[in-house]
Structure 1
Amino acid sequence: MFKLIALDMDGTLLKGDNTISQETKKAIKLAKEKGIKIVITTGRPIQGVMNYLEDLDLINDDEYVITYNGSSIYNTKTLKPIVRSGLTGKDFKDIYKLSKSLGVEFHGFIDECCIAPKENKYTDAEIQHNNIDVKIIDIENDINDNDFIIKAMILDEKEKLDQAVKKIPKEYFEKYNALRTVSFIFEFMNKNCSKSNALKALCKHLDISQTEVIAFGDGENDIDMLQFAELGVAMGNASNYVQSKADYVTLSNEENGIADVIYKKILNI
C-alpha cells in the first residue's frame, strides 16, 4: 500500500496555465483522506510553492515540501528546513565566471531571494512565476567564499544554451549535480542534491519505506525520483526518454494524468 505521493509541479501537477485541475484536486483530497502523505517535489523555491500548498490544504505541522530540486525540505507550517544542501560562495563565483565565458545569463538563490548580477527577462520571470524577490549584486565582491548558496543556474534561449552546455568543462559535471531542468535553464547544485536523495531523507524522517512511495514527473530532473519510488509515473507529456525511465506512463498534465493513476492504482476506483 502506498503511503506517500511525490508530485513534481511544472508539467506534472500544474497544467500549462499554472493551475491545478479540479479533478486532480479531488483525487488528491481523496488520497489524503486515506492517510496518504502528499509531497510536492519541485525545482521551484519555497516562495513559488506556497499558493499551491494552500490550495491543496497542505500547510500543517506534519506536512512537508521538497524545493530547489531536492536542495531543501521544509515543514510547510513553520517553513523551517529539516534537510538542506547547497553550494559555497566560492562555488557560486566560479560558476558565475563560467557563465561569463559562455556568454549566457546567470542567477542563483539564497534563502531570502534570487540573486543576480543584472536584471533580465529571467529575473523578471522569477518575480512573476515564483513570487520571489530579486536582488541585484556584485557577485565577485558581495559574495563571501563561505556563504551558503542554494543553487546556481545559467539561462538563455534554447539554441544558445544548447551550444553553451556543450562547452562546459567536464570537471563541473564531476563536482556538481549539473543538469538541464527546462529548455532555457541549466542548474548547478550540491553533488548530493537531488529529488531522490531528498525523498529518501524525508521517508526516513516519516518512517515510510521506499516500497510505499509513488512519484510523478515529466522532466529529466525527475528521473532519479521516479526510479527511487516503488512506482515511478511519467506524464504523457514527458519526453520519450523520461517515459522510458518510468514504471508507468499516465495521461498528460492537461488530461488529469495524476488523478487517473490515483483512482486506478491507489483508490481502486
Structure 2
Amino acid sequence: MNSLQLIRALVFDLDGTLLNTQKRVSERTQQTLMRCFQKGLHLFIATARPPRSVKHVIPSQILQHVSAVYYNGAYCHDHRSGGTLNFTIPTSIATKIIDYICRRNETNTLSIESEDILYALSNAIYEQNRKHMFVPPTLVSQNTLSAIPANKILLIRCSSESRHYIMSFKDQLNIVETDAGELIQVMAKNVSKASAVSALCKRQNISMNQVMAFGDDWNDLDLFKACGISVAMGNAVPGLEKYATTRAGTNDEEGVAAFLERWLSH
C-alpha cells in the first residue's frame, strides 16, 4: 500500500490554495470536496484568516463539514464535537510590542485578533489596509488593547525598525511573514497550523502521517513538514516546493480539484 492510500484527512490553506484570485471556491472544487467527505475523509481548513472571514468565503454546505484552524492555529473549531481550542500570546510580551509600536507612532500598522474580534487603536489601519482586514476594527485605548488576550498580533507594512524589534521575540513567539513580507503575523510560541491540525486529528485517532496538506505560502511550511503528503500549489511562493511531496496546478486552474480528482480515480 502506498502513502497516498493511507490518507484519512485533507488539510487546505485558503488564500492562494482553495480560493482562486476572486476569493471564491469554484463549483468544481466544491463538488470534489463533497466527494471526499462522502468517501469518509476528514476535511480541515487551516488559514491565517479569522472565523468571520472564513464564513464569508467558504460556502456553508462545505463549512459545516470541515474542522477549522484559524489565525495560523491560535483558534480552532472541531466540527464533529463542536469544541474549540484557544491559544493566546502572553500578556507581558504583547504589552511590550504594543508599547513599542505606540512609542514609534506606528499605530496605523497594528491590530489584534481575539476570538473573532478585531481590535485596533485607530481606524486608519482599516482605511489603509482593507485588503487584509475585511471589516472595521473595534477601537480601544492602548491600555485596553494591552489587556486583551491576543490570539494574533498583526503588523501591516511596519517600519524596518519595528520589524527588527518584533523579530527579537522569535525565541518566545511564533512569527510568520506573508504577503511578500508586507504582513507580519505574531502568535504564541507553540502555535502553528501543524500543531492545531495535530490536536484536532488526535481527537479522531488520525496520525499526521495519514494527512495530506495543500498550501502556497510560508505559513504552510510547518504543515508540509508534519503531514504524510504535502502538495505545493503551482502558484506557491518560490522555494516552498522544495519542502513538498508533490505539486498541483495553480489556484486559478482549480489545482486542488484536479489533483484530488486524479487521486480519487486511482
- TM-score category, normalised to shorter length: 0.7 to 0.9
Q: Report the AA paired with residue 154 of structure 1.
A: L
Find the aligned partners of 2:46 and 2:217 in 1 and give their Cα distance. 12
Aligned to 1:113: 117
Q: Indicate the residue corresponding to 1:99 in structure 2.
A: 101
- For structure 2, the 5+ residue unaligned runs are 1-5
Q: Which amino acid aligns with 2:115?
A: D
Question: What pairs with 1:13-32 in structure 2 (closer than 5 Å)?
Answer: 13-32=18-37
* Conserved 8 A contact 1:47-1:132: no
The within-5 A match list for 1:238-249 is: 238-249=236-247
The residue number in structure 2 matching 1:182 is 179
3-state DSSP class of the match of 2:170? helix
Q: Aligned equivalents of 1:173 and 1:136: distance in 2? A: 28
Q: Determine the C-alpha separation between the residues in 2 that align with 1:243 and 1:260.
A: 18
CA distance in 2, matches of 1:26, 1:114: 33
**RMSD of aligned Cα (Å):** 2.5
Q: Secondary structure at the match of 2:249?
A: coil
8 Å Cα contact 1:70-1:198 kept in structure 2 = yes
Match of 2:214 in 1: 216
Counterpart check, 1:167 vs 2:164: yes
Summarize the Cα distance change of 1:185–1:164 in structure 2 as closer, same or farther, 3 Å threshold: farther
Amino acid in the other structure paired with 1:246: A
- The answer as to whether partners of 1:218 and 1:239 remain within 8 angstroms in 2 is yes
Report if aligned partners of 1:211, 1:230 keep a CA contact under 8 Å in 2: yes
Deviations 1:2-27 (A, max 9, x none): 11110000110000111111221121
Q: 2:265 aligns with which of 255, 260, 268?
A: 268
C-alpha contact (below 8 Å) 2:101/2:162 kept by paired residues: no
Q: How many residues were matched structurally?
A: 258
* Structure 2 CA distance for partners of 1:36 and 1:112, relative to 1, 3 Å: closer
Secondary structure in 1 matching 2:265:
coil
Query: In 1, Cα distance between the equivalents of 2:236 and 2:121?
Result: 33
TM-aligned CA distance change 1:16 to 1:261, over 3 Å? same
CA distance in 1, matches of 2:247, 2:220: 14
Letter in 2 for 1:106: L
Aligned CA distance change for structure 1 residues 2 and 78 (closer, same or farther; 3 Å): closer
CA positional deviation for 1:153: 1.4
1:240 Cα deviation after fit: 2.0
Question: What is the Cα deviation at residue 177 of structure 1?
Answer: 0.4
1:58 to 52, 60, 63: 63
Paired residue for 2:92, among 90, 93, 108? 90
Q: Is the 8 A contact 2:176 2:219 kept in 1?
A: yes
**TM-score of the aligned structures, taking structure 1 as reference length:** 0.86
Q: 1 CA distance for matches of 2:174 and 2:122?
A: 25
The one-letter code sitting in structure 2 at the alignment partner of 1:155 is I
